[in-house]
Chains A and B, each alone.
Chain A
Amino acid sequence: MGFVRVHHDVQEYEVFARKTRLEPLRQVGAVVAPDDELAMAYARATYDEERWVEMMIVPKAAVIQLWAPGEAEA
């Protein structure tokens, strides 16, 4: 997905986090930023609804999808 922004070279990052050591990481949202540093800052500031025990971001371009909703069920 191409984003038209002030910064021309932005990319999308998925944000993952979990509240306790017991629970698995889950996707809590996404941010769009020109570099990793800014993406980290955006993720911290935007998804601050919990005291996360762990948080990480992944460039969406690095995610390899095996199948999408609907495809495996067919």
Chain B
Amino acid sequence: MESSNSAAFEGLLKRGELIESVSEMTPDYLRELKHTLIVSGDTELISAPAYYLAARKAPSVNAFMTGIAIIQDELAHAHIAYHILEELGESQEALIFKRDPKAFRYPYAFDVPLESWTELVVANAMYDQAGFCLLGDIHEQCSYGPWKRGLVKVMAEENFHLRNGRNWSKRISQAGGAAKEELQRAVDWMFPLTVEWFGLPDNLKQHSAQLDYRLKGLTNDQLRPQWLSTVVPFMASIGIQVPAHQENSHYVLDYPFPSTFDAEAKRWDFNDPCTWDDVLSRWRARGPRNAEMVALFQESFSKFLPQRGREISLQQRIWSALAQIDDPEMPINLVDLGVVYGVALEGRTVRVRLTFTAMGCPASDMIIGDIRERLLAEPGVDEVAIDVVWDPPWSSSRMTVEGREALRAWGLSV
């Protein structure tokens, strides 16, 4: 294969042809392509745990199965993007399982938990519609052959997702009463969050190389109205209000864009307009459930490693050992409880940074004793040092998903 020839590359791009292999690309094109694929793969991947947590609230077995079918589709969509990245030289396992939760590049909306079946179907009607607009544009314009072909499947399935969202939204609205009120509340916080999904207005945005490289065809200010033109009339047709209306041929938002969002309360304050810098720093800080969502698929990977007979590090054995020690008062282990802040190895000494759920916890001596005894039983460990720390303070948000489940099953609301 000949080395990349930028004149030949420009020629292919100008003629509207498809790029098929790395040898045909310039380094800049490769970088932009990877970036675009990572955003797409991350968004598809994170939608799986986000939808799963809500699908468990399905009102029937059939509805649950539809939810699971959608989640399976999303994982396949993520696979398509990550597999292409692998062919472009990235490690799929490193991208999925070894990145810090904050390093994932998906829309902020997925960091705000979907907590009911109603919120899930509104996500199908609005988030999947956003995905449909964005991916539809890529599918039409994309200059990279393997991705353009891979998106045929994705587009067909996104269409099914948003139709599922619309059918259910309509059904819930027709039911009226409290069900309809819940639907309206979901739309109230999710609609502006989806509008944000399309990013900064064009005049505030740096020129995107993605357009030059035909990795997409439409700008943010072209895609946003496309989404509004499908969602606003649909919501009107089922008697649900949205903060936007039609004026002549275009759609206008009825609130200052951007505005301030309280993620914990899932509430917008339209009387409190903010700047795009405020929004960007909210996005960068990520939302309340970022770590938990990413943990939902990353945790099982580390559990998978030891079973494969691979050389397990002492560090990993220490963590597994700590995960075998239950809190004396509740059926939850110390790792799932989130009280272990760190494990460090100094020769044959293990240093554990530990906190307790409350100061003066009566069980603290017992827990320390349990840790010492269990870790000393581990080959390679001669000494155990336990540093009890109070900063940062423990809160229930430090518990893992499994931990929460265990306590919920035990009857504690967390």
Q: Is B167 an interface residue (CB 8 A)?
A: no
Q: A46: nearest residue on chain B (CB-CB)? A: B76
Across the interface, A69 reaches (CB within 8 A) one of B24, B87, B149, B304, namely B24
Q: Which residues of B contact A7 (CB under 8 A)?
A: 308
Smallest distance from the beta carbon of A41 to chain B beta carbons, Å? 13
Q: Is B1 an interface residue (CB 8 A)?
A: yes
Tell me the A14-63 residues at the B interface (CB within 8 Å). Answer: 27-32, 45-49
Across the interface, A46 reaches (CB within 8 A) one of B18, B79, B87, B301, namely B79
Bound form: Cα–Cα A27–B157 in Å: 18
Grouping DSSP codes into helix (H, G, I), strand (E, B) and loop, the B interface class, with mixed when no group exceeds half, is: helix
Bound form: Cα–Cα A31–B80 in Å: 9
B157 adjacent to A6 (CB under 8 Å): no
Q: Which residues of B contact A5 (CB under 8 A)?
A: 92-93
Q: Which residues of B contact A3 (CB under 8 A)?
A: 86, 92
Q: Which residues of A contact B153 (CB under 8 A)?
A: 28-29, 47, 49
Q: Which residues of A contact B18 (CB under 8 A)?
A: 69
Task: Return the CB mask of B11-29 against A: 1 if under 8 Å, else 0.
Answer: 0000000101101100000
B20 adjacent to A70 (CB under 8 Å): yes
Chain A residues engaging chain B, CB cutoff 8 angstroms? 1, 3-7, 27-32, 45-49, 68-70
Interface size on B, residues (CB 8 A): 29
A4 adjacent to B21 (CB under 8 Å): no
Smallest distance from the beta carbon of A30 to chain B beta carbons, Å? 6
Q: Is B91 an interface residue (CB 8 A)?
A: yes
B20 adjacent to A68 (CB under 8 Å): yes
Bound form: Cα–Cα A48–B79 in Å: 13
Smallest distance from the beta carbon of B50 to chain A beta carbons, Å? 20
Q: Which residues of B contact A27 (CB under 8 A)?
A: 149
Bound form: Cα–Cα A1–B1 in Å: 15
Bound form: Cα–Cα A47–B93 in Å: 21
A6 adjacent to B304 (CB under 8 Å): yes
